[in-house]
Amino acid sequence: MSRLLSCWPLFCLLIARSGMAGAPLPPVTGDSRLGPGQIPCQLFGLWRVSVCCKKAHTWIRYENVDTGEVHSISRFKRGAGQLKDECTGETIVPGVCSSGLWWDQDLRFEPEVRNGQFLLISVLIKDPLIYQSHQQDGYRLRGNNCTSYVAEAWAFYSGEKYCLPGAILPRRLGKALWRRHPDIPIDAALKGNSLFR
């Protein structure tokens, strides 16, 4: 059972959803996804907070250590974030309807993550606040994209700051993480989506 905290947007830059007990969530589709201005404030319990990265996208993933409940957050451009069935071409997860931070949109990649792909680095945090950035809405390729959000969020959770001047792309963040943590099995995690290509 989940309990949603209500926060005033003017006072709450960090927002989340509490996850009490319950089974892991399946990928979220349709209108049950939460977009800009709707993201909850805090998760309760012990959570593994991780950076996940593909060649062209990156996100923060939260997994409850005790229950296995999973959530994600990232920044999207309007219309992005969809998932289509490879065989039929039908849309399984629709793209986002507005630019900004979206909660659980990246659960579309959860089967691959659980198979050892895309997850780069994690920290354990009790009762984490959800990092909201200075702005929930909007998207710009330079300075307000998925990678800039994840770099800021990772600094918030881990204390590690990365200088990523110019175009802030997922591969630049992945390379910066790998330089600081050469033990990250980056090629295994990215299986065909190498950040170094």
Helix axes 170-180, 146-158, angle to 10 degrees: 30
Query: Does any domain span residue 146?
Result: yes
Q: What's the pTM? A: 0.74
Residue 113: CB atoms within 10 A of its CB come to 20
Residue 4: CB atoms within 10 A of its CB come to 12
* Predicted local distance difference test score (pLDDT) of residue 26: 43
* Predicted local distance difference test score (pLDDT) of residue 38: 76
* Predicted local distance difference test score (pLDDT) of residue 87: 78
Residue 32 phi, psi (nearest 5): -80, -10
Segment 105-138, tens digit of pLDDT: 888 888 888 888 887 789 999 999 999 887 666 5
* Predicted local distance difference test score (pLDDT) of residue 183: 79
Query: Does any domain span residue 117?
Result: yes
* Predicted local distance difference test score (pLDDT) of residue 43: 95
More confident residue, 197 or 108: 108
* Predicted local distance difference test score (pLDDT) of residue 62: 95
Which residue range is the domain that position 90 belongs to?
Answer: 2-190
Query: Does any domain span residue 197?
Result: no
Segment 64-83, tens digit of pLDDT: 999 999 999 988 877 777 77
Query: Does any domain span residue 135?
Result: yes
- Evaluated on CA atoms 94, 95, 101, 107, the torsion sign reads positive
Residues paired with residue 100 on neighbouring β-strands, in sequence order: 76, 137
Query: Does any domain span residue 105?
Result: yes
Among 10-14, 33-37, 178-182, where is mean pLDDT lowest? 10-14
Q: Which value, to the nearest 10 degrees, does the dihedral of the CA atoms of residues 145, 151, 153, 154 take?
A: 150
Q: Is 13 left (phi over 0), alpha (psi -120 to 50) or beta?
A: alpha
* Predicted local distance difference test score (pLDDT) of residue 197: 44
Query: Does any domain span residue 14?
Result: yes
Instruction: Please count the structural domains in the chain.
Output: 1
* Predicted local distance difference test score (pLDDT) of residue 139: 65
- The answer on pLDDT for 1 being more than 60 is no
Segment 18-54, tens digit of pLDDT: 333 333 334 444 445 666 667 888 999 999 999 988 8
- Per the listing, tokens 């949603």 go with 4
